[in-house]
Structure formats: structure tokens, C-alpha cells
Structure 1
């Protein structure tokens, strides 16, 4: 594999400052060296945080992002910085989850993408948010996200 596909990366291997908002965060991508094969890529962020836009209190989620890449792969450090940029961002659970999915889908143009946002309860109600770009592609192994419904102490 040629190092040429990595030449435009600016964050990996460099000191980077955590973006203060999702709008400031810069996603980076590299050419997919296996673009002729349909396969699933999974990222799990079990400690995702954002802020309630009304109270400023922290909200916590377990995110599972699956995508079947086309020509592009997301560079993982840029994804981590992007997800971390929500820490001081005020938005409801639905908006955070769908914003992440749409930004990745627009940027990567994958064959398929889905996100499961499994949010921890606030006010006694967990809110789980799911988004996908279309039907799951045939012939690609995409495991269950493996996150059970919230049961509390039960």
C-alpha cells in the first residue's frame, strides 16, 4: 500500500487542539484501498457526551456507527475529535445523533451508514435514536449492535 493515500492528513501524528464545537471539527478521509470489496466498518464510542440545550447538564450516550465504505474511509483520529467536539455542544439527543450520521454520510459517501445512539436516562427516560441511509446492503456481514435496551436496576 502506498503512503500517498495518507499525504493529505493533517491531524494524525500531529498535536491537535480539541475542537470546541462540531462546526469547528474537521473530518479527514483516506482512499479506501479495498474499495472493490463490500465490508462493514464499526466505530463504538461508549462515553459520548453532549449538553442539554435547555439546562446545560451533561448527556451521555453509547454510540455505534456502522458503515460500508465506498471510495473513502474516515480517519479515526479526526472522527474522535469530531465526536469529542460535542462535549460542550448543546443539542437534544435526536439532533446530535442524526447530525453525526448526516455529516459522515455527506463526507464519506459510503455505500451504507447507520448509527445507533443509546442515550442514558435523564428525567427517568432513556432515549435511543437510530438512523440509516437506506436498506442494509446484501452480502455484507453487519452484526447486531449488541447494545441491550436500558433496564435500569431491573
Structure 2
């Protein structure tokens, strides 16, 4: 099992989560034929794949704006439980958990790529101009 959790852009708190029980490849991108669809200007139509290999999960970047781990761009990398990846330098952040569901996130059923009957609103994530914490438009806490 592998779980993906979309994190808030400035506070790193869970926004949405997807859990995959048996998939060997998980596709993430802007196009609706991905398992996880993210609408963001910095996310490519087919941004990355998570591939379950005998030696463990691997990330393969296909995105024009890159995929980042700890601020460094990667072409491919081994997945480490709890790692956070970023789609593009300023795009969505996703925490990856292996073998367990993320207990802090609300769960969303993953979609089947290309599945027309699975197009529910909660399965698509829109990322548009996240407010910065210091921004005057940002609500005070």
C-alpha cells in the first residue's frame, strides 16, 4: 500500500489524501487520465509516475517544471517513507507514505486513469495562487 497526501502550500498540513492498495504504477499530473489529477500551472499533463519495483517504490519525473525532493530537482529517485516531493519549484507538495495510510489526512478514493464514471469533484485538486502567510489578503489566525 502507498498513500499520497497533498499538503497545504504554506502550512504543510494535510488537505487531501489518496491510498493505493495494489497499483504497480501511479500517475500524477494535470490530465484527467492520471490516478491523481492536480490542476496547477506548474504541473505537467503527465508530471510523474510512482513505480512499484521489486526493490521498492521509485519516482520518475516527466514534468517540464521538474519534481523536487528537499529543494533539489530529481529525474528519478527511490521513495523513502514519509518523504515530501514538490511538483515544480513552487507547485503542490505531496507526502508519500509506504505501507500505511496517512492518519492526519482526509481520504479520497483514487481514480482509475481515463475512467469517465469516476469523475467526482472531490477527486480533482485545483491549486491556484496560494496565499502566502505574510500576505495582507491572508486571514489572520
> Could you say which TM-score interval applies, normalised by the shorter chain?
under 0.3
Greater fraction helix: 1
Q: Per chain length, whose mean CA-contact separation is higher, i.e. which structure has more relative contact order (CA < 8 Å, sep 6+)? A: 2
> What TM-score results when the alignment is normalised by the length of structure 2?
0.26
The higher radius of gyration belongs to: 1
Q: TM-score, normalising length from structure 1?
A: 0.25
